Amino acid sequence: MNGDGGGRAAANGDGGRTSAYGDGGRRTVPPAVDAEVRAAGVAAGEPLTPENLADRQARDAAARPRPGVAELRDGGRFEVAELVAPGPGGGPEVRLVSARPAGAGGPLPLLYYLHGGGMVMGNAWSVLPRLLRELAEPLGLAVVSAEYRLAPAAPYPAAVEDCYAGLLAVAGRAAELGADPGRIVVGGKSAGGGLAAALALLARDRGGPVPAGQLLLSPMLDDRDRTFSTHQLAGHDTWDRTSNATAWRAVLGERYGAADLPPYAAPARATDLAGLPPAYLEVGSAETFRDEAVAYADAIWRAGGAAELHVWPGACHGFDTCAPEAAVSRDARDARLRWLRRVLRS
């Protein structure tokens, strides 16, 4: 595990010592942000709140890139198609975007990817240019990105059921997609990472398609906001405790904080992590999701499973998107590639 050390005591104004761990109501000291990430202008910004949620959703939908098929093909470098899968339980169809390096022989391994955005923002198209450039091309990998419904218009279980319906369609149409059904990795970043973890649990418990691995990048796993890092990074991370609570309330509605919330809603609630595909978990030392990602990896190990965990020093939430040329971002991309090569080769 990569990390940047444990907490230390910090001097207070009266010459005494104040714990940096923040117990007993004392102050917490957030980890320093990597110098290159900080130099890229990454800052916490305005948190997401119930009052500004609708406005933020509208602004995101207007501003977030939504490249079309012709743009994604990038002058013939990639083969791209839009598909639909039957909706869960008779619900609306799920839209999927499929892409692969042009002219690549098959069947190819496939990354079934779920976008971020707190389950309240984002779309399946905006993530594809980076995925194609950073993963599909160097690995000879097919990618399918799923357009799941967003909260609060579509609360739990809409998003995870949409993702599962898409996975069933992808596995069932693997030959049509030129993909190997035995080498499908589920993955995503932030909310998408949490949904990928939930999808692995759901596929195991329903006897669905068995993923070859789960790629969980800064995953949004725990609705309870009880970890130390959620308090330590409050007001400091690009996605902090206020934003996280707002998104979870939108997703869960009246079930927010319920004792009996199923693990498919928040994978950190799972009590049985046995029998899951190998996992890659990545998080920054200076981000809200740090401790829940570490705890999830530990729970997989305790259940006898396989997990590779990276805690990138000085990395905040979304560090590699905000500062793609920073050394820590390059290291993170290299580590993901190495893991994918190993899991898809085995």
- Residues designated catalytic: 190, 287, 317
Strand blocks (E) in 167-314: 179-189, 213-217, 279-284, 307-312
List the structure tokens of 126. 């905006």
CB 71 within 8 A of CB 103: no
Rounded-to-integer distance, Cα 146 and Cα 153, Å: 18
Distance (Å, rounded) from C-alpha 291 to C-alpha 312? 13
- For the chain, the distance separating the N- and C-terminal CA atoms, rounded to the nearest angstrom, is 22
Separation between Cα atoms, residue 336 and residue 130, nearest integer Å: 13
Q: What angle do CA 201, 182, 161 make, to 5 degrees?
A: 35
The neighbouring-strand residues paired with 79 are 100
Task: Give the pairing of strands 279-284 and 179-189.
Answer: unpaired
* Pairwise CA distance, residues 328 & 315, whole Å: 7
**Residue 40, both tokens:** 């890229």
Q: For strands 179-189 and 213-217, give the pairing.
A: parallel
The total of other beta-carbon atoms located within 10 Å of residue 250's CB is 22
